[in-house]
Amino acid sequence: LRVPSEVSLLPPQVQLKNYKSENEALRLGQAANLATVRQNADAALQSLLTVITNSRASIRQLVSGAESLQLVADLLTSIDRISEVSQDGQ
């Protein structure tokens, strides 16, 4: 580790104070970064929960539509059977 020449000229107490100030600034920066990460994670979570809710609604609509189509298919099958019985009965 190479120490700049101007730092070595400072008294040890001043160097220590400077290092403590720099250390505190780094800590504050880390805290700010952590807050940003938490905020981004919360936003991502909210977006994910919205996607899940919308997906569930879409799945319910899809199932409902499939059930309706099944009813139509059953009705058409019944009509086909009725027409066969009618033709056989004539």
Could you read off the pLDDT of 9-31 as tens digits, one per residue? 778 888 888 888 999 888 888 88
HSE value, Cβ hemisphere, 13 Å, CA-based, for 77 = 6
Residue 22's φ and ψ, nearest 5 degrees, are -65, -40
What pLDDT score was predicted for residue 43? 96
- What value does the mean pLDDT of the chain take? 88
**Which residue type does 12 have?**
P
What pLDDT score was predicted for residue 74? 96
- C-alpha distances in angstroms, 50 versus 42, 54, 55, 85? 12, 6, 8, 53
Average pLDDT for residues 28-42, to the nearest whole number?
90
- Model pTM greater than 0.95? no
Q: Is the pLDDT of residue 83 over 90?
A: no
* 3 state SS of 63: helix
Q: Is the pLDDT of residue 72 over 70?
A: yes
Taking a C-beta distance cutoff of 8 angstroms, is the pair 48, 56 a contact? no
